Structure 1
Amino acid sequence: MQNFRVTWTQDGQPKRSGVAYDLPSAEHRKVRLEQETGVADVEIVPEKPGV
């Protein structure tokens, strides 16, 4: 199974999700971040196994 992390910038600071998600969950988290925090540069990035 491929895992993904969510990254974004908030208040000039780069942020990264503390957990890895499957793709549908990562997409859901991206939408929630955009709606709840107003950040617009949310990206879903593949996570290498074992990281």
Structure 2
Amino acid sequence: MDNYRVKWVRASDGRPMVSAVSYDLPSAEHRKTALETEGATDIEIVKVRPGQ
């Protein structure tokens, strides 16, 4: 299984963020959609190695 993290810039203060957990691709895409709804910008799904 491939693992993914989500990176984004928080809308409230412009702070760059990275997910604390790894997701499978459908879950990462769901998280991206939720972040878009919250107003986050520069959202990126990044593939990572297991345990990274």
TM-score computed with the length of structure 2 as normaliser = 0.85
- Using the alignment, how far apart are the partners of 2:51 and 2:33 within structure 1? 26
| Counterpart in the other structure of 1:6 | 6
| Counterpart in the other structure of 2:43 | 42
Point out where structure 2 has 5 or more consecutive residues left out of the alignment.
none
| Corresponding residue SS for 1:41 | strand
Q: Percent identity?
A: 58
Point out where structure 1 has 5 or more consecutive residues left out of the alignment.
none
Q: How many residues align?
A: 50
Runs (4+) of structure 1 exceeding 6 A deviation are none
Which residue identity does 1:9 align to in structure 2?
A: V
TM-score computed with the length of structure 1 as normaliser = 0.86
**RMSD between superposed Cα atoms in Å:** 1.0
